[in-house]
Amino acid sequence: MSQRTRQVLELFMSIIAITLVLVGCGSKQNSVNNKPAKVTIFQSKVEITDDLKNLAKAYEKETGQKVEVWVTTGDDYTTQVKTKLSNRNSSPNLFSTGGGQESAQLRSYMADLSDQPFVKDIVKGRALTYDGKIYGLPYSVEGYGLIYNTALVKPSEMTSTDQFIEYLKTAKAQGKYTGFELSSETYFLIAHMLNNAFAIQKDPAAFLKDVESGKVQLQNVPAFKELGQIYEAIREYTKNPMSVKYDDQIGDLMSGKTAMVNQGMWINTMLKDYKNSNVKLDMMPFPLTGNKKLNVSVPLYWNVNKNKPANEVKASEKFLNWLVTSKTGQDYIVNKFKFIPVYTNIKIDQSKMDSLSLAIYKAAQSGNTMSASTSAWPVGAIDTTFAPITEKFFSNKSMTGQDLMKEISAGFVSTAKSK
């Protein structure tokens, strides 16, 4: 073999060796990248944020998988999550949607969860589905109504709009406490109250279409006329909601400064901060037009971001399965988050339930409920249209309840074009 041939061969062998080293390094690097550094969660239920962070620590301790919880203010979550999901590199692994239009707009980001083990345990009809496939794991069923201080309010005397308004008027005259409080956050300010009037319609879905088309105007519908009267009474006989924050509202309720709030069982996670309070709470239907039903539905769904790397999608699915099947996860769902689970494998001891959760649980079991229509409303309309109109109502005393309903009705028409 000539010296030149030997040199060429040695050079060729060196190239092969270097290539093998680089391939080996690359394989090692890929192996490292194949293990997700963490699973990120971005969800909108602010009441469970602290407990969710503790759950993440417990999961890491049990499995070695790090989970990070991103904090949000809640009101503008839909806008925030859209922004975050649009950037694949900085988007969360797990996010939440509220069904209806909100979920439909974000469907393209959702992984198909139909093959996941937890599917068999979801109560029939409670998962988020499209075309027969499952894209969302339900948080729970929850509900809301008129939460009241049992020492100050008798349900038998709160069965109509007239009785409700008279109670507010009397409470102000006596000056010992306010009869009712709304808070300034958008859903609490208008969405839940407005939904009460939608939910008692014979066919809420068809009614909504008529409102959005302009065929029906809210100010001409009996339930909304009464709702306008209620808002006038709130403005005249209670604190201005624009000066009341969520925490203030619950604080006033638990200190006896107000007798009632239109809220949901979710406030029970906040009640641990009032251990010295002797106020006892219960829930009854908001008596608009004599309504006798509580509002019960699935508020949110866990969704997995399908646009993340495959190993991160798998890690996110494992976390959700652990959440609803492990002893630790189930304990958090029932005892820390105070959720009413919608899984056949999670049992509830009614004797250990708080009064608000028990009221919703019994309503759900009996079927004597009305559902939320808010998820079918134009996405973002509550924050960008309905809340500002309501804020204007509370700052402008010349604006009547009928004016409020008229402007909100027009808001449904204008925002429906974005659906």
Question: Which of 67, 387, 406 has the alpha carbon at shortest distance from 241?
Answer: 387
The closest alpha carbon to 322, from 312, 309, 331, belongs to 331
pLDDT digit string, tens, across residues 240-282: 999 999 999 999 999 999 999 999 999 988 998 999 999 999 9
- H/E stretch holding 103 reads helix 100-105
Q: Do the beta carbons of residue 292 and residue 285 sit within 8 Å?
A: yes
CA proximity to 258, closest of 147, 179, 188: 179
Residues 6+ apart with CB under 8 A from 337: 48, 51, 52, 140, 269
Q: Which residue has the tokens 């270097």?
A: 18
**What is the third-level CATH fold of 39-139+299-341?**
D-Maltodextrin-Binding Protein; domain 2 (3.40.190)
Structure tokens at 386: 């309905």
CATH number of 142-297+357-416: 3.40.190.10
Whole-angstrom distance, CA of residue 193 vs CA of residue 174: 26
For the chain, the structural domain boundaries read: 39-139+299-341, 142-297+357-416
Cβ-contact 302, 39 below 8 angstroms: no
pLDDT of residue 152: 98
Q: What is the pLDDT of residue 227?
A: 98
Asked if 119 contacts 127 with a C-beta cutoff of 8 angstroms, the reply is yes
Domains 39-139+299-341 and 142-297+357-416 share a fold: yes
The candidate with the shortest Cα–Cα distance to 87, out of 42, 129, 51, is 42
Strands 94-97 and 39-42, sheet pairing: parallel
Position 108 scores a pLDDT of: 96
Whether the CB-CB separation of 92 and 69 falls below 8 Å is answered with no
Of 171, 195, 191, which is closest to residue 183 (Cα–Cα)? 191
Q: In angstroms, what CA-CA distances link 290 with 158, 205, 266, 287, 367?
A: 9, 21, 24, 5, 18
In this predicted structure, what is the pLDDT of residue 75? 65
Are 41 and 93 spatial neighbours (Cβ–Cβ below 8 Å)? Answer: yes
For the chain (419 residues), the mean pLDDT of every run of 10, in chain order, is 48 45 40 65 91 97 96 79 91 94 93 97 92 96 96 97 98 98 96 96 96 98 98 98 97 98 93 94 97 93 96 97 97 92 90 92 87 88 96 97 98 89
**Whose structure tokens read 């890690």?**
315
Q: Give the DSSP letter of residue 73.
A: -
The distance of Cα 326 from the centroid of its chain, to the nearest Å, equals 23
Q: Sheet holding 39-42: strands in order across? A: 67-70, 39-42, 94-97, 301-304, 133-138, 128-130
pLDDT of residue 269: 86
How far apart CA 359 and CA 49 sit, in angstroms, is: 24
Q: Which residues pair with 147 in a beta bridge?
A: 261, 283
What is the spatial distance between Cα 18 and Cα 23, in angstroms, rounded to a whole number?
A: 9
Q: How far apart are CA 46 and CA 50, in angstroms?
A: 8
Q: Residue 281 and residue 150: Cα distance in Å, rounded?
A: 6
Residue 1: predicted pLDDT: 52
